[in-house]
Structure 1
Amino acid sequence: MEDPNDSHPEEIPGVRENLENNNTAAAAARIQQYLERENNIPLNIAITGETGSGKSTFVNALRGMSDDDEGAAPTGVTEITLEVTPYPHPNYPNVKLWDLPGIGTTKFPAKKYLELVGFEKFDFFIIISDTRFRENDVKLAQEIQKMKKKFYFVRSKIDDNLRAERRKRHFVEEETLTKIRDDCVHRLRGLGIGSPQVFLVSSFELHLYDFSLLQQTLDRDLPKNKRDTLLFVMPNINPEIIIKKKKAFQSKIKYYATLSAAVAAVPLPGLSIAVDAAVLVGAVTHYVHAFGLDIPSLQRLSDRTGVPYTDLRAVIISPLAAAEITKDLLLKVIAQLAGTVALIAAEEATRWIPFIGIPVAMGLSFTTTYKVLNLLLEKLADDAQRVFERTLV
């Protein structure tokens, strides 16, 4: 059994002191505030480039949406984006992808572009081109650099390029990709960018080409407090993304378990169970959304991949996926987990034992919550992996 006084999150200011002074209500409040803040860290991503480069389709792809989904960024053969337009992620409204107007238009001239779009609110910029990067793209990158912001070059519509090249007799995909990448890098260097890194991307097939490398680069470059925020909204384009999400969630379980332990110290019958259920609902809902296992996300995935929704649903095992997460459903699922009912009963019984009851109940509560969340997370990560594999068939 783990001792909650040894296992609580020391990095949250005041938690240790409050627990040592038996002020468990204050400790619980601090942990709740921390979790709420961590789950709502803002992330603002600017998607920019010249008219018709595929900005809006890229925005939709990052949000796990098709171009014709309700709430998708509008796309078309003519200039669609005429204003700076935010598109919140459907599961995480704290993450906004901003579809910026094409640089170099009459309304948004290159020289005043950053000022007009409000550069200060963005965490980083993705500069998109569907052909060659041009002088306006380079000028924008240089100005972004002056403002101490990060920028990334994305060469879009790679699937279209490969489709055209396949008509040639001696087509080799890797050679074509290298040629496109080298051409972009050479042109950017010629326009004044020292060591440009160009990511080749198809917004319709994010699991192919360089999108994984782009994700890894963003993860490396972002401040620590925003890495998980970006990770949780990333589509499950490979098994590594799913594993990273699982590990990120595992690192947070100690906070939920300590919160549960703090509540267990309050001598009110049934309070710990009720609060634990509410805490677990929030955590598990977060897992389901990040893994894309909620019904709207699965339906959007079905639309994008062409795999019937019923086929995706068929590979899911956990009753918490593709379902509304309620206290009743969660308690029913927990009751089926080996050993958890006995732990919950023991916690309720021991808290009334004089002197030692509360510390023992806190330890039991910590252990129960820690075990339950790990088991549920494991099952949902496995479901996410099965859904991913099904989309590749």
Structure 2
Amino acid sequence: MGQRFSNTPNDEDNGNLLSSFTTYFRNYKPETKIISEENTLSIELCLKKGDLQGANSVISDALKVIDNATINIAVTGESGSGKSSLINALREVKPEEESAAEVGVTETTREIKPYEHPKVKNLILWDLPGIGTPDFQPKNYLQKVEFKKYDFFIIVSSTRFTQHEIDLAKAIKVMKKNYYFVRAKVDSDLRNEKRSHPHTFDRENILNKIRNYCLDNIRKWNIDEPQVFLISNHNLSDYDFPVLMDTLIKDLPAEKRHNFLLSLPNITEAAIQKKYSSTKQFIWLNAMKDGLLATVPVVGILHDLDMEKLKKRLNFYQDLFGVDDESLTFMAKDAQVPVEQLKEKLKSPHLLEFKKEETLGELLLKCLEKFASANGGLLATGLYFRKTYYLELHFLDTVAEDAKVLLREAYSKKIAQTQFAHSYQQSQDQQVYTRES
């Protein structure tokens, strides 16, 4: 920790900075990076030439683009297909909430309705009337829904895809935009099949039949190599929903990827990790931008203003990862346990609570030591990363781990409920068998 910082970076500093940047961002797969390859190369070139002002400018512009990138997702399908439920699921909004998309078995979408994501700015899901409805005929459908503003289309069905929807997919492809076929309500199909054929029920076989039925139906209309995602809007971690999310992430431009990744529901540990990695990249770039032209030591005095900023950042991460007070209260109510019982399992609510002998500065030093041991030095450069960066990373690490703890808690409860339901059903079946015998 005795490293000296010079006001004027030398060639060795520049070389170390280039090495640190390259090593960090080359560790990410292209489909998970939040800056484009073009920007990555521009930053590397500036650092190689010692042009810190240029590197700072490229990073600043890239962060502005990322932060302000608007994502418009169009969701369409026939009435009762489950598209409104999908929109609510993607926004993590319950059907009874005021901001929810209206759900019903009749045609509830008669006009184009935008739904903003409650936690991620600039992410909007558009509930579109199904193609072929009275006011949205095939011949002028794309024009009426303002086709150009959407990043991609999700075409939802709960049975089979109609000719109208197939024609829509073809038109979208001609316009060089992406579309995705989603077969919803597969959980209902499985329940019905199990009820009808309890002794011969085969889950994977039924899912394959549903998938093949959809694929055969689509191929009939001359669409090559279609992909259909089987989902349940009530059990997002099951079936193909995680695969759908991974496909959308990969297909989005790098600058739009960050906001979409932040919107991922915490349905799997992999989803939480993707959200974590994206946020970490953003923090890293922001800190590097601030640090490139700074000339003060990394360990400074943390003022009250810094503490207020840190509290806001911690609250932001807790809200983003669903470990804020409101989310914990909802989860506790759902699990029928005291909210304090959940909080006991988490570390993030106590991050800014210190014992008398501890200070925020000492926590900063611990974070610096942790970062140095994991990353081979303080960014392997004499330049300054803003002092709150290491604490932000510590907050992010802790909050993401808390999100995984809550996910495991919810999963264990779900397993227990499933086992109870299975045991109860076996008991009922046995009673019926005994009476009949």
SS state of the match for residue 228, structure 1?
helix
- Find the structure with the greater CA-based Rg: 2
In structure 2, relative to structure 1, the CA distance for the partners of 1:54 and 1:41 (3 Å cut) is same
Q: Where do 5+ consecutive residues of structure 1 fail to align?
A: 344-361
Query: Using a 3 Å threshold, how does the CA distance of structure 1 residues 338 and 94 change in structure 2: closer, same or farther?
Result: closer
User: What's the % identity of the aligned pairs?
Assistant: 38
Residue number in structure 2 paired with 1:222: 252
Displacement of 1:147 after TM fit?
Answer: 0.9
> Against the structure 1 CA distance between its residues 320 and 179, is the aligned structure 2 distance closer, same or farther, given a 3 Å change threshold?
farther
**Cα–Cα, structure 1 residues 146 and 278, in superposed 2: closer, same or farther, change >3 Å?**
farther
C-alpha distance in structure 1 between counterparts of 2:109 and 2:332, whole Å = 27
Q: For residues 110 and 367 of structure 1, what CA distance do their matches in structure 2 show?
A: 55
- State the SS of the aligned residue for 2:291: helix
Q: State the superposition RMSD in angstroms.
A: 3.7
Q: How many residues align?
A: 361
Residue 263 of structure 1 deviates from its aligned partner by 8.0
Contact 1:162 1:176 in 2 (8 A): yes
Does the Cα contact within 8 Å between 2:79 and 2:130 map onto a contact in 1? Answer: yes
Supply the distance in 1 between the matched residues of 2:173 and 2:61 (Cα, whole angstroms). 35
Q: 224, 241, 244: which is aligned to 1:194?
A: 224
**Aligned match of 1:148:** 176
- Tell me the residue number matched to 2:236: 206
Distance 2:93 2:410 in 1: 15
Of the three residues 110, 132, 138, the one matched with 2:138 is: 110
Give the 3-state SS of the residue equivalent to 2:72 in structure 1.
strand
After TM superposition, list the pairs within 5 Å mapping 1:37-76 onto structure 2.
37-76=65-104
Q: Sort the Cα spacing of 1:285 and 1:338 in 2 relative to 1 into closer, same or farther, 3 A.
A: closer
Q: For residue 363 of structure 2, what is the aligned residue in structure 1?
A: 337
C-alpha displacement at 1:254, in angstroms?
2.7
Tell me, yes or no, if the aligned pair for 1:67 and 1:74 is still in contact at 8 Å: yes
Report what 2:285 is aligned to: 255
Trace 1:238-387 onto structure 2 (pairs within 5 A): 238-261=268-291, 265=295, 280=310, 283-298=313-328, 310=339, 312-319=342-349, 334-335=360-361, 337=363, 339=365, 363=382, 365-366=384-385, 368-387=387-406
Shift of residue 152, structure 1, vs aligned partner: 0.3
- CA offset digits 1:335-380 (Å, max 9, x no partner): 562626999xxxxxxxxxxxxxxxxxx9585274443222222111
CA distance in 2, matches of 1:153, 1:333: 54
Maintained 8 Å contact 2:71/2:260: yes
SS at match of 2:256: helix
TM-score normalised over the length of structure 1: 0.79
Q: CA 1:342–1:201 in structure 2 vs 1: closer, same or farther (change >3 Å)?
A: closer
Structure 2: which 5+ runs fail to align?
A: 23-38, 370-380, 414-437
Cross-structure match for 1:84: 112
1:180 corresponds to which residue?
A: 210
Asked whether the equivalents of residues 50 and 129 of structure 1 are also in contact (C-alpha less than 8 Å), the reply is: yes
Which stretch has the larger CA shift, 26-35 or 143-152? 26-35
Q: Given that residues 334 and 340 in structure 1 are in contact (C-alpha distance below 8 angstroms), is that contact kept between their aligned partners in structure 2? A: no
Per-residue deviation at 1:136? 1.1
SS of residue paired to 2:234:
coil
TM-score where L is the length of structure 2: 0.71
Residue 435 of structure 2 corresponds to which residue in structure 1?
none
Distance 1:64 1:117 in 2: 25
In the alignment, residue 115 of structure 1 is paired with which amino acid? Answer: Q
Cα distance change of structure 1 residues 40 and 149 upon mapping to structure 2, 3 Å threshold = same
